[in-house]
Structure 1
Amino acid sequence: MTAAKKAQGPVLSTRALNRATLDRQLLLRRHPMKPAAAVSHLLGLQAQNVKPPYYALAARLEEFDPAAFSALMQDRELVRIVTMRSTIHTHTADDALALRRLVQPARTRELNMFRKGLAGVDLDRLTAQAKELVEEQPRTLAQIREHLLRTWPDADPQALGIAARCSLPLVQVTPRGLWRQSGQVSLTTLTHWLGRDDTADADPDDTVLRYLGAFGPASVKDFQTWSGLTRMREVFERLRPGLTTFRDEHGVELFDLPDASRPDADTPAPARLLPEFDNLLLSHADRTRVVPPDLKGRTWLGNFAYSVFLVDGFLAGTWKLTEEKESATVTFEPFGTLTKAQRAELEAEAARLLDGPMGTGVPYDLRYGQVVGA
């Protein structure tokens, strides 16, 4: 079959694609799902900072208690570890083991970028030394670098740290990541933290199917963007007989699970407040299913990402929560004009956060600030 024929299939409009993705992302309605089940369904939550996973689930679940989520981390049912796109994610223990193995080729590519600073370094010996060090007790990355420099004093310190992170599945131990608690980033190996051997082989076929269930319909490039892996076309072709295919408005082939939900394009999409780095905005090569083309790049400033809000399913602005000892303020910064009804939806979402367990019980104000980038 020719590539041209493979690309044939029903066209999904951007709005239809938006509604399908929001539904898979648990954002068309709140779900009664337990937090660990939601984390598993979503294949993890972006977690460069501590709070985003909490706000990501607060936007998606009917009854979300951040203290209960923290308890799952304390009990080591959830962990914080570098996986997709070389960024920290919160995963279930099972997914942390499997997905960290799956994305090892991407970590190896990352390590190769720092080979110049590792001249003369025996990577097998480095891995063994770092493993022994962090399993003796959790260590900071600075402590790991300092230790390795004793063996390789001429190596680049940053490259040594990256080599340890790329070669070993290093997990951030608690109290880092707990709700309203502080803790520096201290690391140990995932298997040591869980008390479990990493024996299961990663299954790329199963991961693609799960990705489609959480982010689909999607292209091969979309999956590669999410995972950081390359050359995944072969996996999609192997799975093609059991999948259904569509095209987006630009003719790009999209794969999907045959029985997956694809709501009507006119399905109402409620306003949602999402944290910085939410996976909804980072897991596709073409993000126009959520980010209008004229707003591309408006949610970032250098390496800093804004928390964002959705209106009618699409990116519509940023928001910020400022908490003081005796008060709190949510400031909305829309990219365009909001209707009275849209403002009411956003304000109801903010009130739901601050009146519930995500708040601190202090009085709060809701404000509208200057449009970002204006």
Structure 2
Amino acid sequence: MTVLDARALNRATLARQYLLARGDTTVPQAVAHLCGMQAQEPQEPFIGLWSRLSGFQPGLLDGALTARAVVRTHLMRRTVHLVTADDALAWRSRHDTMLRQRVLGTYRRELAGIDLAEVAAAGRAVMADQRPRTMTELVRAIEDRWPGPPRRALGELLVAALVPMAQLPPRGLWQRTAGVRNLPLSSWLERDVAPLPADADDPVGQRMLRRYLAAYGPAARADVRAWCGLAGLPAAVEAVRDELVVFRDERGRELLDLPGAPRPHPETPAPVRFLPAFDNAILGYHDRSRIIDAAHLGLSVAGHRTVLVDGRVTATWTVRERQLRISALRPLTAAEREAVHTEAQDLTAFLDDGIERIRLDVEG
């Protein structure tokens, strides 16, 4: 069985994430290919798409959001994701159990004894007038029936788990500051969330697995679970195993992949790329060693924006007081410094945020 080292896996990830070469595709097509983009920080998907798509301009994502082609909603790992309307409707029911378990795991004591079906029905009744509401407004409308739990616990149960919700624009629009206003997905998208099939077959899980491998493979089962947070995908893996090719990594883990998916030569040159906070190119795996060193794993989960040099996380970056500051995590060669600076100049032009200086701090 072919063994793929970390560099080979890195180049495969970069190719599929549009980070080896920028893609020439629409925003909805890119978001669909990436299986969504983590978006709890509303401005970060703009940076992620700029680093991935040729000619990307903020208005393209704004237009997709306002046209309801893409939507912000709680989905994978109970995190707000930017996904296409089709994927939100197709995948939401598959995530129901996980979403409820994660909210209940966070607020188990506060929500003990609550009848989830009754809370969900009350929430849907309040939202039946199709008026967007903040979480606080929604909780106020039902809290007389459940006066015990804290508002935060009851609100997250409703908005993040029980009633599939969309976070409406202007939340998530370019350089706009706006609070979260919720509306049921079915109302915002004018289509119903797809129900799960009554039988044991799991076509949704199988399609999700194929889509994940197209954007993240080759990958282990643990990687798939880390990406989506779902526990029930082993059956989906077995159902499509005959369609897949199998590799091993250097630790002996089984890696699954689609037969025709890109797996570039490990020595393929990789350009500098600036990634947003919580980018799924890093967080979409259980084993992130293909793209980030163990010593720096905490950066991604803490929300640091990162810079890829030769395909790996090599620096962090921030914008403060009209300065784009890049902090290298290792010494950079002269050629690497020049490449980072060149990409940083393009980034400042995209951000158009009055940035007057690029500062590169190099360790060592």
TM-score by length of 1: 0.90
Q: Answer yes or no: is the 8 Å Cα contact 2:282–2:300 preserved in 1.
A: no
Q: Whole-Å Cα distance in 2 between the matches of residues 283 and 330 of structure 1?
A: 27
Structure 1 equivalent of residue 70 of structure 2: 78
- Does residue 310 of structure 1 match 2:308? yes
Q: Find the partner of 1:347 among 336, 341, 349.
A: 341
Q: Find the partner of 1:159 among 153, 159, 162.
A: 153
What's the CA shift string for 1:206-253, capped at 9, x where partnerless? 110010000000011100000001142222122111100000000000
What's the CA shift string for 1:7-26, capped at 9, x where partnerless? xx210011000000110111
Structure 1 equivalent of residue 122 of structure 2: 129
Structure 2 equivalent of residue 283 of structure 1: 284
Q: Answer yes or no: is the 8 Å Cα contact 2:329–2:362 preserved in 1.
A: no
Q: Whole-Å Cα distance in 2 between the matches of residues 146 and 190 of structure 1?
A: 21
Structure 2 equivalent of residue 93 of structure 1: 85
Moved more, 217-226 or 177-186: 177-186
Structure 1 equivalent of residue 199 of structure 2: none
- Does residue 108 of structure 1 match 2:100? yes
Structure 2 equivalent of residue 27 of structure 1: 19
Q: Whole-Å Cα distance in 2 between the matches of residues 231 and 19 of structure 1?
A: 29
Q: How does 1:292-331 map to 2 (within 5 A)?
A: 292-300=293-301, 304-322=302-320, 328-331=322-325
SS of match in other structure, 2:92: helix
Structure 1 equivalent of residue 241 of structure 2: 240
Could you tell me which amino acid in structure 2 is paired with residue 150 of structure 1?
D
Structure 1 equivalent of residue 186 of structure 2: 191
- Does residue 179 of structure 1 match 2:180? no
Could you tell me which amino acid in structure 1 is paired with residue 118 of structure 2?
R
Q: Whole-Å Cα distance in 2 between the matches of residues 99 and 338 of structure 1?
A: 42
Q: Whole-Å Cα distance in 1 between the matches of residues 194 and 304 of structure 2?
A: 38
Q: Answer yes or no: is the 8 Å Cα contact 2:15–2:262 preserved in 1.
A: yes
Q: Answer yes or no: is the 8 Å Cα contact 2:216–2:284 preserved in 1.
A: yes
Q: Whole-Å Cα distance in 1 between the matches of residues 334 and 181 of structure 2?
A: 47
- Cα deviation for residue 296 of structure 1 reads 2.5
SS of match in other structure, 1:287: coil
Q: Whole-Å Cα distance in 2 between the matches of residues 163 and 49 of structure 1?
A: 20
Q: Answer yes or no: is the 8 Å Cα contact 1:134–1:187 preserved in 2.
A: no
Q: Whole-Å Cα distance in 2 between the matches of residues 316 and 119 of structure 1?
A: 45
- Cα deviation for residue 150 of structure 1 reads 1.1
Q: Whole-Å Cα distance in 1 between the matches of residues 52 and 8 of structure 2?
A: 20
Structure 2 equivalent of residue 249 of structure 1: 250
SS of match in other structure, 1:199: coil
TM-score by length of 2: 0.93
Could you tell me which amino acid in structure 2 is paired with residue 320 of structure 1?
T
Q: Answer yes or no: is the 8 Å Cα contact 1:148–1:160 preserved in 2.
A: no
Q: Answer yes or no: is the 8 Å Cα contact 1:130–1:144 preserved in 2.
A: yes
SS of match in other structure, 2:317: strand
Q: How does 1:357-372 map to 2 (within 5 A)?
A: 358-360=351-353, 362=354, 364-369=356-361
Q: Whole-Å Cα distance in 2 between the matches of residues 41 and 189 of structure 1?
A: 25
> Aligned-residue CA RMSD in angstroms?
1.8
Structure 1 equivalent of residue 144 of structure 2: 150
Q: Answer yes or no: is the 8 Å Cα contact 1:121–1:155 preserved in 2.
A: no
- Cα deviation for residue 134 of structure 1 reads 3.2
SS of match in other structure, 1:289: coil
Q: Whole-Å Cα distance in 2 between the matches of residues 182 and 193 of structure 1?
A: 21
- Cα deviation for residue 353 of structure 1 reads 2.1
Q: Whole-Å Cα distance in 2 between the matches of residues 310 and 111 of structure 1?
A: 34
User: Quick one: structure 1 residues 68 and 135, their matched pair in 2 at CA, closer, same or farther if it must change by over 3 Å?
Assistant: farther
- Cα deviation for residue 346 of structure 1 reads 1.3
Q: Whole-Å Cα distance in 1 between the matches of residues 4 and 114 of structure 2?
A: 51
Structure 2 equivalent of residue 42 of structure 1: 34
Moved more, 108-117 or 49-58: 108-117
Moved more, 125-134 or 285-294: 125-134
What's the CA shift string for 1:120-141, capped at 9, x where partnerless? 4332221122123234311111
Q: Whole-Å Cα distance in 1 between the matches of residues 111 and 295 of structure 2?
A: 43
For structure 2, which runs of at least 5 residues remain unmatched after alignment? 197-202
Structure 2 equivalent of residue 259 of structure 1: 260
How many pairs does the alignment contain? 355
Q: Find the partner of 2:165 among 159, 165, 170.
A: 170
What's the CA shift string for 1:48-78, capped at 9, x where partnerless? 1111100000000111010121011111111
